[in-house]
Amino acid sequence: MPSELPLVQAPMAGGPSTPALTAAVADAGGYGFVAAGYLSAEGLREAIATTRTLTGAPFGVNLFVPSPPGDPGDVARYAAALQPEVKRLGVALGEPRWEDDAYDAKLDVVELARVHLVSFTFGCPTPQIIERLHRAGLQVAVTVTSALEAQLAADAGTDLLTVQGTEAGGHQGSFADLAANHRPLLSLLAQIRETTDVPMIGTGGVMTGRDAAAVLGAGAIAVQLGTALLCTPQAGTSALHRQALLDGRYTDTILTRAYSGRFARGLVNRFALEHDGQAPPAYPEVHHLTRPLRAAAAQAGDASVPNLWAGTGWRQLTTGPAATIIRRIAADARQADV
């Protein structure tokens, strides 16, 4: 990684990732990412341009690989199960449509913008896409959650593996959305290290220097941080989300498809508890279906409904500037490694 410190800012789509956060991490010596998920192609172009006005350091862009359509009947049954929420919040469910997050258009954007690195989540790009990006001078990383996924990504020609343990907050980046892919980070790094020599970035539950040192000691060349940066001033995390993370009202995290149709880890609020196990593996259909419910509850200040993404180490969150957190974790990691 072309950065002074072996610390990477996770691309947190949907609000938390901002150009200011990317720049702050990069200027502190880490490596920043622009999260392309949920942005239009034009929105991504603007985010890259804005980030470049804030930092001269190289940074990456993360793209969602399109997921296969879900079963319409399963989605309809989940919509029926959500009717009590519709009545309580007084809003209609969203249209459970499938779409590819403007995948092809965003590939064009990152290629033309000549960003340093493009990472992929929810699947592996084709060898042809990886070769296309290589020809344009870009490096490629693929998020993996198993040794099999790591081998598939290596065979496709990836330069880096972002190895995601089940401790990570937000969406699990598995190729196939299966509970069997939920594995602890350190053991996953050890498994993958035995099967491929592609450099690894480890991510999942890292909050402290000691955590980072353990990941580096397990063979990763860098450590990716997400939850640790959620409450920094540079993050775009909502006030409701920040408060729920900091006030301790929820006591644990859960992996659930309830919000989006893909497994994701967040705080255990009422919605997550009541609807866990009901949602089918249908992303982004379920994401669009539940979005009006989440938005209405957030507007009303009701934290019992929205997704409150958080990794397992969320209790150690701090609210200082991103640069302070990056430098402290790096310093503590060096100390722990002595």
pLDDT given for residue 1 in this prediction = 72
pLDDT given for residue 336 in this prediction = 84
Q: Collect the ranges in the chain with pLDDT lower than 50.
A: 338
DSSP 31: B
Alpha-carbon torsion 178, 62, 32, 303, what sign? negative
DSSP 122: S
pLDDT given for residue 180 in this prediction = 77
Q: Domain residues of the chain, as ranges?
A: 7-66+101-227+320-336
CA angle 102, 67, 225 (to 5 degrees): 85
- Confidence (pTM): 0.97
Side chain identity at 70, as an amino acid letter?
G
Alpha-carbon torsion 35, 334, 332, 163, what sign? positive
CATH number of 7-66+101-227+320-336: 3.20.20.70
Backbone angles phi, psi at 314, to 5 degrees: -60, -25
CA gap 215, 104 in Å, rounded: 34
Burial class (CB in 10 A: 0-12, 13-18, 19+), 75: buried
> How many C-beta neighbours within 10 Å does residue 87 have?
9
How distant is the alpha carbon of residue 228 from its chain centre?
Answer: 13
